[in-house]
C-alpha cells in the first residue's frame, strides 16, 4: 500500500497547520461573473442545486456585503493523502468530534483542509497533533 493510502502512516505524518486568515461560507443564487468572481477570490466554489457556496476570506465577504453565519479557521493537513485513501477523513472527524469540535472537511488534490470555528483552532490543532503521536 502506498504511503498516500496507508492510514497509519497518514495519521503519523498528519502535520496540521493553521492559516492566519478567517474564512466564511456564503451562498449566492448563481455563479458570479468572471470579474466579480476574480474580485471575490474565493478559496473554493461549490455548486449545489440550491445555489453556489463560496468559501472565502471574511474580509472579502465583508467588502462585498455577503452574509454568513460563522467565522472559521482553516487547518491544512500537510501530509499527502491520495484521494482514494480510506479512513483519513473519518479518523480526523472522529478525533475532532470527541473534542466537541465540528469540522467541515474539503479534500483537494494534494491535501485535506478542515474548517473549524475560529475560536476552536488551537484545541483542534492539539487534538490532531495528539493522533499523530498515538
pLDDT mean over 45-70 = 95
Going through the chain in order, the beta strands assigned E by DSSP cover 16-18, 23-28, 44-48, 51-57, 72-77, 104-107, 112-117
pLDDT mean over 25-40 = 89
Crossing angle for the helix pair 88-98 and 121-133, nearest 10 degrees? 120
Q: Comparing 44 with 4, which gets the higher pLDDT?
A: 44
Domain residue extents for the chain: 1-22+71-134, 23-70
* % of residues, the chain, pLDDT over 90: 65
Q: Comparing 133 with 32, which gets the higher pLDDT?
A: 32
Average per-residue pLDDT for the chain = 90
- Say how far apart CA 81 and CA 86 lie, in whole Å: 10
- What's the pLDDT at 44? 96
Query: Does residue 2 have a pLDDT over 60?
Result: no
- What's the pLDDT at 1? 36
- Say how far apart CA 54 and CA 97 lie, in whole Å: 24
Q: Which of 1-5, 14-18, 83-87 has the lowest mean pLDDT?
A: 1-5
* % of residues, the chain, pLDDT over 70: 96
* Residues 58-101: tens digit of each pLDDT: 999 999 999 999 999 999 998 878 777 777 888 899 999 999 99
**CATH number at 1-22+71-134:** 3.30.2130.10
Amino acid at each position: 500500500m502506498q504511503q498516500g493510502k496507508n492510514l497509519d502512516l497518514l495519521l503519523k505524518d498528519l502535520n496540521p497547520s493553521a492559516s492566519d486568515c478567517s474564512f466564511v461560507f456564503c451562498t449566492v443564487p448563481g455563479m458570479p461573473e468572471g470579474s466579480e468572481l476574480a474580485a471575490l477570490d474565493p478559496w473554493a466554489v461549490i455548486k449545489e442545486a440550491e445555489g453556489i457556496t463560496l468559501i472565502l476570506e471574511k474580509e472579502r465577504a465583508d467588502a462585498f456585503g455577503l452574509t454568513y453565519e460563522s467565522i472559521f479557521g482553516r487547518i491544512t493537513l500537510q501530509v499527502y493523502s491520495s484521494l482514494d485513501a480510506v479512513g483519513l477523513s473519518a479518523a480526523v472527524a472522529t478525533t475532532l468530534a470527541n473534542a466537541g469540535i465540528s469540522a467541515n472537511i474539503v479534500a483537494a488534490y494534494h491535501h485535506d483542509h478542515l474548517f473549524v470555528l475560529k475560536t476552536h483552532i488551537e484545541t483542534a490543532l492539539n487534538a490532531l497533533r495528539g493522533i499523530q503521536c498515538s
